[in-house]
């Protein structure tokens, strides 16, 4: 059974280094895409969503640190593990990188096994953070659904009582004339009651396509 490869983006302006990194990662079963600078990387990222980005700090047009700063402000790439490659090894430079959201640093020349170890670590962290985000999202959806369910349930109960009172006041002749309408109202009330019950007891929320790019919570 084929398993999906983890995606890595390499951003490096030096042609030979870019080629070596691409071959190294490809041989280690990663799906790799490369870019020559940060600006080109932004174009790549419109269709390619990696778990890890390995980017050189010093590049023309848009350097690695500037690219990192842009992506860490984008919710789509906030969890992407960002590794900076740099010849700068001072504490001041590392602090500068951390301030814009870089997750890790490797000082050039990079040792292959160390780079692979850092990428594996980055992918584990990405997966864990993504799982936590999914759990938090599901919890928020459940809480929202439960709240909406209770909010609907209260006026629904009042509506049911009002309908019973109205039916009790009607004569048999009036009930006969309004029979189809009363039946439609009661059926609609039951459908709403069933929906409210599903919202209140929602456990594993799933979303389905509704219209265009809109989605809705899937119920039974």
Between the alpha carbon of residue 68 and those of residues 46, 48, 51, 53, 164, the distances in Å are: 15, 16, 14, 9, 63
Residues 141, 72 share a domain: no
Residues 104, 11 share a domain: yes
The rounded mean pLDDT for the chain is 82
| The pairing of beta strand 214-217 with beta strand 207-211 | antiparallel
Q: Residue 67: inside a domain, yes or no? A: yes
Residues 80, 14 share a domain: yes
Q: By the 8 A CB rule, do 197 and 219 touch?
A: no
Q: Residue 131: inside a domain, yes or no? A: no
Please count the residues of the chain. 220
Domain ends where: 61, 94, 110?
A: 110
Q: Residue 128: inside a domain, yes or no? A: no
Reduce the DSSP state of residue 198 to 3 states and report it: helix
CATH of the domain at 25: 3.40.50.2300
Q: Residue 84: inside a domain, yes or no? A: yes
Residues 176, 103 share a domain: no
Range of weakest confidence among 12-21, 71-80, 167-176: 167-176
Residues 95, 22 share a domain: yes
Lookup result for tokens 């059974």: 1
List, in sequence order, every residue forming a beta bridge with 208; answer none if it has no partner.
216
Question: What are the residue ranges of helices labelled H in the chain?
Answer: 15-27, 38-44, 64-72, 91-99, 112-169, 172-177, 179-200
Q: What is the number of alpha carbons within 13 Å of residue 154 lying toward its C-beta?
A: 5
Residues 94, 142 share a domain: no
Residues 35, 87 share a domain: yes
Residues 176, 95 share a domain: no
∠ CA 123-18-28, rounded to 5°: 40
Residues 156, 212 share a domain: yes
Q: By the 8 A CB rule, do 105 and 97 touch?
A: yes
Domain containing residue 193: 137-217
Residues 96, 49 share a domain: yes
Q: What is the pTM of this model?
A: 0.65
Number of domains the chain is built from: 2
Range of weakest confidence among 26-40, 126-140, 144-158, 195-209: 195-209
| Per-residue pLDDT tens digits for 173-220 | 887 888 788 888 888 888 888 877 777 766 655 554 544 455 545 555
| Per-residue pLDDT tens digits for 51-90 | 999 999 989 999 999 999 999 888 889 889 999 998 766 6
Domain ends where: 110, 128, 158?
A: 110
List, in sequence order, every residue forming a beta bridge with 84; answer none if it has no partner.
55, 105
Q: Residue 120: inside a domain, yes or no? A: no
């Amino acid at each position: 059974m084929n398993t999906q490869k983890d995606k890595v983006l390499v951003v490096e302006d030096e042609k030979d280094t870019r080629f070596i990194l691409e071959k190294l990662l490809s041989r280690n079963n990663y799906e790799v895409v490369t870019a020559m600078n940060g600006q080109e990387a932004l174009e790549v990222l419109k269709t390619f969503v990696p778990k890890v980005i390995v980017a050189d700090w010093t590049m023309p047009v848009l350097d690695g640190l500037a690219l990192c700063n842009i992506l860490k402000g984008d919710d789509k790439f906030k969890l992407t593990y960002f590794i900076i490659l740099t010849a700068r090894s001072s504490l001041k430079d590392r602090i500068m990188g951390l301030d814009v959201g870089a997750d890790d640093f490797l000082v050039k020349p990079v040792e292959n096994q160390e780079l692979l170890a850092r990428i594996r670590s980055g992918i584990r962290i990405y997966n864990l953070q993504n799982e936590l985000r999914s759990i938090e999202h599901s919890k928020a959806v459940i809480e929202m659904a439960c709240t909406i369910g209770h909010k609907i349930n209260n006026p629904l109960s009042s509506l049911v009582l009002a309908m019973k009172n109205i039916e009790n006041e009607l004569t048999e002749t009036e009930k006969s004339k309004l029979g189809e309408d009363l039946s439609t109202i009661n059926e609609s009330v039951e459908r709403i009651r069933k929906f409210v019950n599903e919202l209140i007891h929602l456990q594993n929320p799933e979303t389905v396509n509704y219209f265009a790019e809109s989605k809705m919570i899937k119920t039974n």
